[in-house]
Structure 1
Amino acid sequence: MMMTPQLSWHIVLQLAGKELRSLWRDRLLLVFVLWAFSGAIYTAATAMPDRLVSAPIAVVDEDQTVLSQRLISAFYPPDFLTPDLISLGEMDAGLDTGHYSFVLDIPPGFQRDLVAGRRPALQLNVDATQMRQSFVGTGYVQSMIQLELQEFEQGERTAAASPVELAVRMRFNPTLNSAWFSGVMEVINMVTMLSIILAGAALIREREHGTLEHLLVMPIRPVEIMLAKVLSMGAVVLLASLLSLRIMVQGVLEMPIGGALALFMLAVALHLFATTSMGIFMGTVARSMPQLALLIILVLLPLQMLSGGATPRESMPEAVRTLMLLAPTTHFVSLAQAVLYRGAGLSIAWPNLLALTAIGATFFIAALARFRRSLAL
């Protein structure tokens, strides 16, 4: 009876070391990894603030009254730059050139009409090409004008009495700092993207350099070659994600981590088991680096956009939610948010860990079967 040769972990570790040395010599890819877990994290967390910062605004004051001066003085740093007083003819040019994001037009007779009990209109012109700033800034302007008008009419700023007192408690993010959410989600996205890219690129690099044929004439099994790539590239991303959480998220962004970091890193390892297998599978389908890049784009965008990190899963169609349960990113994002934001423990995270293990094993078996068939061609 023919015996199946046992798996040699000594060979696997030697091949893994070869993969790490090959990555070290690829300085461009190495710089990309460093940027992905440092500069990209900081940029994603700070590039889209949840509040206005020095928004340029101008005012066309056709009323020239005490009330119009009060409205102009309501806009001040750091939310807005000091308002520029411009003429009506300069308004369109300032918006067309992008010099101003907001232009408030106070019509003549505005104070007189307000005192007389009429309902005068103010015109706010907004540069809507800057969508986030225009959306947030419009609300700012409306609120500030309402407060100033209320104080002008009543002599004080008083809020209308409510029959119910609403006590708001902000859990898990008391300062409503969007950088906390953006930073962690970018780490999660980079773990997925880099693991697929590194594993797929490692296989393509072997084929382009001709070293894969050299390995095949040696007493090395395909499963050992694949395990070496999974372990080596997974270890690189695992270490990079840990350092990114410690240095960038906790250090630079000053985000507190609610749960056990060890539990999250266990989830990262299981997630990498699945995504590196996906990368190797794509590496067997693609025949060159450009083909691999196009294939990764087709797969990576749905994984990241439909996993629940960009938009809530509850807002997606039922068919999409059911289909995305087969993707490792869905369970990884859910677990990461529960552990890092809400401090969840193993009693809550174990279903996601079990799902990641099953999905990873499925992807590994499928990638290994495809890898064997590609070697036989």
Structure 2
Amino acid sequence: MWGRLYGLIGKEFAQMLRDPVVLFLIFWLTTLEVAMCTMAIGMDVKNLKLGLVDNDRTEVSRAFVRELTSADTFVLAGVFASPRDAERRFRRGQLDALVEVPPNFGARVTAGRRATVGVVVDGSNADVAARARAYIVEMTSRFAAARYAGATVMAKGVQPAVRVWYNPNLTNTNFVALAMIAQAGFMLAVVLPAAGLVREKQSGTLEQIRVTPIRAHEMFVAKVLPPVVVSTGALFPSLLVARLLGVPVSGDLLTFVALNLIFLLSAVSIGVFVACVTSTLQQALLTSFFGLFPLLFLSGSVTPIESMPRWLQMGAEASPLRHGIAIITGLFLKGAGWSELWPHAVALALIGVSLFSASWWLFRRQW
């Protein structure tokens, strides 16, 4: 068995390496995808997850928190004793901003004196961080104007002292570069197995292989393993480019490689499933791109997931790219590890196991 498997894997590598096919963009969005993506794309960021450290605990501080959460911009996601207690929630992506109300806040506001409020913003996604900071400044100014009867905020109002974690300059370069790495690996891992297996069907070589002693599971493994290896190898030049762009590496690279392997396996499972339900290369490419565009828009790289309708936010959890981007940004920008990113790994594993099981059932019936 091992000799047959090695031969099949070698054949797959040879076919891929001697056929540098340019991936064709054939299909544009269907009506359903246009509707879905239009609803997903929005300029306003809503339902941002807000943490609170209230060191004052007076009616004035509670009124200030009510002002921040009065609209649908912020949702109070947790109350903490200190900013350090909220750090793990930030690493897991469960907080977008944290407000720290200092002691004697109510007394200073009541006396008409300046009070400074501490604000921490997750800067790994610069767009979300910039909007969160702007919203907090605006709402703080509105609260101060009401409390100080129109006095200028700069003179005697409540001043937020904003600190941005993970991306102090609020530049989009880091996030975009990491998102592009995840997208490139995802597309490669989807298209390679789909094109490879369907090409065997279309050319008739799969029929010839069926009369040989090769078993179905050997062929299945041979179609899965090479795309994973090639996609993983393509990751390292991308990391070099990201490094040249100045993207920081705060996490452990071995952890990233392990988590990225789970991510690529879930992407390969999509490609294998597409190959099992299609018969020609054209059908496989069209079906692949039919699914790639919604998964791209639901990944959080184009528009924040928080701005999408609730049902689309739930659908985004089924996108491997959404979890892949969360993993790569969490590792590189936040220094997160297994303890923070394991939910994304579990979600990717569930997606991969489900699709591989369905693909194997279809492949076994066709064999």
What's the TM-score bracket when you normalise by the shorter of the two chains?
Answer: 0.5 to 0.7
Structure 2 counterpart of 1:266, which letter?
A
Q: CA deviation at 1:9?
A: 4.4
Structure having greater relative contact order (Cα 8 Å, sep ≥ 6): 2
Q: Deviations over 1:338-374 (max 9, x none)?
A: 2122110111111211221222111111111112223
Choose from 286, 296, 309 the match for 1:304.
296
Q: CA deviation at 1:254?
A: 1.6
Superposition CA RMSD, Å = 2.3
* CA contact 1:23–1:29 (8 Å) conserved in 2: no
The equivalent of 1:196 in structure 2 is: 190
Pairing 1:230–2:234 present = no
More strand by share: 2
Which runs of 5 or more structure 1 residues have no equivalent in the other structure?
1-7, 33-158
Structure 2 counterpart of 1:328, which letter?
P
The equivalent of 1:4 in structure 2 is: none
The equivalent of 2:366 in structure 1 is: 374
The equivalent of 2:344 in structure 1 is: 352
Choose from 17, 35, 38 the match for 2:10.
17
Structure 1 length-normalised TM: 0.59
Structure 1 counterpart of 2:298, which letter?
L
Choose from 166, 172, 187 the match for 1:178.
172
CA gap of 1:165–1:14, structure 2 versus 1, over 3 A, is same
Structure 2 length-normalised TM: 0.61
Q: CA deviation at 1:27?
A: 2.6
Structure 2 counterpart of 1:365, which letter?
S
Structure 1 counterpart of 2:338, which letter?
L
The equivalent of 1:267 in structure 2 is: 259
Q: Deviations over 1:104-153 (max 9, x none)?
A: xxxxxxxxxxxxxxxxxxxxxxxxxxxxxxxxxxxxxxxxxxxxxxxxxx
* CA contact 1:195–1:275 (8 Å) conserved in 2: yes
The equivalent of 2:21 in structure 1 is: 28
Q: Distance in 2 between matches of 1:364 and 1:192?
A: 16
Return 208-217 or 175-184, whichever deviates more. Answer: 208-217
Q: Distance in 2 between matches of 1:216 and 1:235?
A: 25
Pairing 1:216–2:210 present = yes
Pairing 1:243–2:216 present = no
Q: How does 1:1-377 map to 2 (within 5 A)?
A: 8-29=1-22, 161=155, 163-245=157-239, 247-251=240-244, 253-375=245-367
Q: Distance in 1 between matches of 2:305 and 2:154?
A: 37
Return 222-231 or 311-320, whichever deviates more. Answer: 311-320
Q: Distance in 2 between matches of 1:160 and 1:324?
A: 42
Q: Distance in 2 between matches of 1:192 and 1:209?
A: 26
Query: What is the DSSP-based 3-state SS (H/G/I as helix, E as strand, rest coil) of the residue aligned with 1:169?
Result: strand
Q: Distance in 2 between matches of 1:315 and 1:274?
A: 26
Q: Distance in 1 between matches of 2:282 and 2:203?
A: 16
Q: Distance in 1 between matches of 2:293 and 2:177?
A: 18
Q: Distance in 2 between matches of 1:274 and 1:162?
A: 55
Q: Distance in 2 between matches of 1:231 and 1:365?
A: 16
Q: Distance in 1 between matches of 2:229 and 2:13?
A: 9
CA gap of 1:176–1:226, structure 2 versus 1, over 3 A, is same
Q: CA deviation at 1:304?
A: 1.3
Equivalent pairs, count: 240
CA gap of 1:172–1:300, structure 2 versus 1, over 3 A, is same
The equivalent of 1:94 in structure 2 is: none
